[in-house]
Amino acid sequence: MSPSLFTDRPAPHTVMGICDEFGYTRVTSPIRRMDDMVGHWQIKAQLLAEHGDARDKAPWHWNRTDMFRLAPIIFRRQFLANRLMASSSQFWGATMMLRMDFEARRGRLQPPPAGFYDINSVHYCDLPWAYYNPSNPGPLIWTAVVDNRDPKRPFLSMLLHSGLNVRAALMPRPLGPANLPFAGTKLRVQLLAAVPHTNTVLVKLAPEEYQPTGTSPFWKFETAAALPYMKMPSMNRLPENMTEPTPLT
């Protein structure tokens, strides 16, 4: 979806089905966004006007000229804030994945205590703990869904599950566009490499026995090779700017 646009005049809101002269605005807690604060000021000014006090006497009232100048400023700041928030979530999600996988490959990752998850739940198999065994160290098995199957890309865009919502690139991918899995297809993957500060996460398909039942075996078709210019750090060591965590005693 396209980002919302702030204007000084009523405008349609397609998703909500608003296409009349009244328009739509969003007003929530005034401590979160500048546009919410402005919305509160405007509503209070209108209430004062309806109860006999002129709006121009309200120190918080913004007229149309003010709103015409303020709207693009709010839009730019909100757009940048959303981008930073998404980038931050991706960074910390990728960092967590990198650390967990680093410890799992050495058998040092501690699984959750017994009873923390309902192992009989149909969703438990989407968690890496369902396949992790400390006595048999190895890479974690993550669950992901196909986010974009654009055949022009040399990879498949994936969205990692387990509450992380980390975006990743699956490589290699099938060569033929007809063999690409559809968006929403659930797969099991393993971490190939991750560079959190560049929001880069590469994954590969986990062995076939871990793939969900009913998933089309697209991995049996000829696949495209990984991009030669993508030099990624080895998963056998942490990046230089990330120190190995101190074991808990």
- pLDDT tens, 17-55? 887 777 777 788 877 777 888 888 888 887 877 776 655
pLDDT digits (tens, 9 = 90+) for 101-145: 999 999 899 988 888 888 888 888 888 999 998 888 999 999 999
Give every CB contact of residue 104 below 8 A, 6+ residues apart in sequence. 128, 132, 137, 138, 139, 140
Whole-number pLDDT of residue 104: 93
Question: Degrees (nearest 5) of the Cα angle 224, 227, 229?
Answer: 165
Mark 186-214 as b/e (b = at least 16 C-beta within 10 Å).
Answer: ebbbbbbbbebeebbbbbebbeeebbeee
How many Å apart are CA 203 and CA 169, to the nearest integer?
Answer: 6
Residues 142 and 160: beta-carbon distance below 8 Å: yes
pLDDT band at 180 (very low <50, low <70, confident <90, very high): confident
How many Å apart are CA 212 and CA 155, to the nearest integer?
Answer: 20
Q: What is the mean pLDDT of the chain?
A: 78
Q: What is the mean pLDDT of residues 67-87?
A: 81
pLDDT band at 161 (very low <50, low <70, confident <90, very high): confident
